[in-house]
Chains A and B, each alone.
Chain A
Amino acid sequence: MSTNGPLRRTVTVANPMGLHMRPATAFAQLARAYRSTVTVWNGPARADGKSSLDLILLVALPGASLVLEVEGDDAAAAIDPLAALLGAPGDGL
């Protein structure tokens, strides 16, 4: 056991098109690689981080402040790569 509770990060959406299909799908795919539960909040709206559909429905626009929460035995290993992907500026398309 490496953590006692959930790990959290605040991430700003840097992709100029917001959290749309491509970044959401990429994020969900990475999240599924970990055993921990992954949750993303956009204000009061909550999404299962392993579901691209749920993430898209957050309608996270550029500049939105999201809260990433990871809980589980591989949370420490997961939190950094997931936060980096969530806040990535994308490839401009």
Chain B
Amino acid sequence: MDIKRGTPVCPGVAIGPALVLDTEGVRIPRLSLPPDQLDAEVARFGAALGAAAAESRERQRSLAARVGQEIGDILFSQASLLADDRVLRKDVEQFIRGERFNAEYALSRAIRGYVKRLEERGGGEHAARLRGDLYDLEKQILGFLLGENRQPLQAVTQPTVVLAHDLTPSETAQLPQQVHAFATESGGPTSHTAILAAAFGIPAVVGLGRFLSDVSGGDLVIVDGHKGLLILNPDDQTVAEYEAIRAADRTRTDPYLAIKDAPPVTRDGVRVSLLGNIEFPTEAPHCLDRGADGVGLYRTEFLYLNKTEDPTEEEHFRAYQEVLTALGPDRPVVIRTLDLGADKFAAATGQLILDGEKNPFLGLRSIRLCLQNQALFKTQLRAILRASAHGDVRIMFPMISTVMELRHCRNILREVQEDLEEEGIPFKPDLPIGTMIEVPSAALLADVLAKQVDFFSIGTNDLVQYTLAADRNNEHVAGLYNPVDPAVLRLIRGVVDAAGREDVTVNVCGEMSGEPVYIPLLVGMGLRQLSATPRKIPEIKRVIRSLTVPDAERVAREALRMETAREVASYLREQLRRFLPEAAD
């Protein structure tokens, strides 16, 4: 039994067989063979090694033919030449004969053993490169072993615990149907893994550091999303303890199911509409399950990540259509246009940035990138407009920092509308248009922007970072990041007031809207719409149902008088305890 510690990012407990993801989603089956099959298995492995070595030599030959022997030698990765290696052959054969493992699993164990030895010897960058080479070698030989038996991950139906270095889009594109939990070597509380886990509503632990070389597919593992632990090969007593915790968790979440159909209305009858934040179309039904009134933020970045080409208009449209079908024609779906930096893009668009940007968060990203690459932008706009004919679609522009940018966006949108009209393609002409308020300049000019949009959405995650000039992922300054810093609260209040004067709807779609402790403050500042991760909606609803608007306004007034984030945070915790004794920490 081996206990690893990391950062918990989604609560809950999962007990199950591990599925180790490599970047190609190759699943390594683990079998126990009868003694009379071992010779054949060793022979099968030998054949795969020979085939891998031959393939490499052939590749090297053809590369040398194209670029000359010298350069061919330099460019060619020799990892595959190891396929012939006698130590590898001997070690794998030992696993097959000694432990009666199948060749795939034996290979995996051998490679992981080598990686572990590398890690023990240190060696920094040098060792890192070698580690990559070893995994490449494993992948190549596995390809020959699995042959046509290669199973795409989606075919895995048994509930599994997914283990990976990181859950990048290429890995998550391959997830099996039934994932019970995630555990990754890298990542922090705002990482992709955390967002995914929240979307799926499953336990997750990140930032565990190296552990993949200690585990193989099929091993029993426990993910403790409360304490942030990953337990490899737990003993029976530990399994029993965790089964008890898991059972207890299940009964605790039941009260939220009861609240699902109750309206999000304060004790004095004021409605605070609750919407869901989603990233994948498959999360849309989850929003409804949790009692959301619609989708307040559909992050469309996933359509772009880790592809070799930018998504087509059809791909965009199909995704939007899926969400609209799930939600029906009457529930709002706010689609946010691309909000990524150029570094995350397909090669085609990535060419815009030739040297690495020194300050990507202040650089060519998000709407700025779209305005400088109109073809890309218009593809998405066309798809959004087409989708608007099928439901209550609303469009939102991220990271607007000046009035000119917003005007520019609206002009381009108008051009696209004209194009569609000419082509006879239907769309809703009075599609509501909104902007994210996340850059301080936009917050300060909210009164001007309010005249040019139908709604605002306050993106508190980035607004807090930009206002306090602190990167929440930088552990040296993360302490400065606090959504209830008085400066941020003043900006939010200003935005809500400006919106009110122009009859513009405002909501908060950042993490703040998913935390019970901030709800009285937000409602008290005048917000009547919140968009949160679906899993949190029932809790937020409970807080809303425990408030009266005068209560909430009192809380907001007091909080806005305070001078430090710490005072505000402490005050809000105390106030939440008054409204909902069992919800406060």
A contacts, CB < 8 Å to B: 17-18, 20-22, 25, 28, 45, 48, 50-54, 56-59, 61, 91, 93
Tell me which residues across on chain A come within 8 A of B86, comparing CB atoms.
48, 50-51
The one of B73, B79, B82, B118 in contact with A59, judged by C-beta atoms closer than 8 angstroms, is B118
Tell me which residues across on chain B come within 8 A of A53, comparing CB atoms.
82, 85, 87-88, 114
Beyond A20-B126, A93-B74, 14 additional pairs, beta carbon < 8 A: A18-B123, A18-B126, A21-B82, A22-B73, A25-B82, A48-B86, A51-B85, A53-B88, A53-B114, A56-B130, A58-B121, A59-B122, A59-B130, A61-B126
| Contact A59 to B85, CB < 8 A, known contacts A21-B79, A22-B78, A53-B114 | no
Cα-based distance from A54 to B89 in the complex (angstroms): 12
Cα-based distance from A22 to B118 in the complex (angstroms): 17
CB distance from B85 to the nearest CB of A (A): 4
Tell me which residues across on chain A come within 8 A of B85, comparing CB atoms.
28, 51-54
A-B contact count (CB 8 A): 56
Tell me which residues across on chain B come within 8 A of A17, comparing CB atoms.
126
Residue total for B at the interface (Cβ-Cβ under 8 A): 22
Interface residues of B in 49-85 (CB under 8 A from A): 73-74, 77-79, 81-82, 85
Cα-based distance from A25 to B57 in the complex (angstroms): 13
CB distance from B566 to the nearest CB of A (A): 48
Tell me which residues across on chain B come within 8 A of A57, comparing CB atoms.
114, 117-118, 121
Cα-based distance from A48 to B88 in the complex (angstroms): 12
Tell me which residues across on chain A come within 8 A of B117, comparing CB atoms.
57
- Name which residue of chain B comes closest to A56, CB basis: B130
Tell me which residues across on chain B come within 8 A of A22, comparing CB atoms.
73, 78
Cα-based distance from A56 to B87 in the complex (angstroms): 12
Tell me which residues across on chain A come within 8 A of B133, comparing CB atoms.
21, 56
The majority secondary structure among interface residues of chain B is helix
Q: Mark B106-124, 1 if CB is under 8 A from A, else 0.
A: 0000000010011001110
- Name which residue of chain A comes closest to B130, CB basis: A56
- B87 with A25: CB separation less than 8 A: no
CB distance from A39 to the nearest CB of B (A): 13
23 A-B interface contacts by CB (under 8 A) = A18-B123, A21-B79, A21-B130, A21-B133, A22-B73, A25-B78, A25-B82, A51-B85, A51-B86, A51-B87, A52-B82, A52-B85, A53-B87, A53-B114, A54-B87, A56-B130, A57-B117, A59-B118, A59-B121, A59-B123, A59-B126, A59-B130, A61-B123
- B81 with A52: CB separation less than 8 A: yes
Tell me which residues across on chain A come within 8 A of B81, comparing CB atoms.
25, 52
Tell me which residues across on chain B come within 8 A of A54, comparing CB atoms.
85, 87
Tell me which residues across on chain A come within 8 A of B127, comparing CB atoms.
59
Tell me which residues across on chain A come within 8 A of B122, comparing CB atoms.
59
B129 contacts A by Cβ under 8 Å: yes
Tell me which residues across on chain A come within 8 A of B129, comparing CB atoms.
20
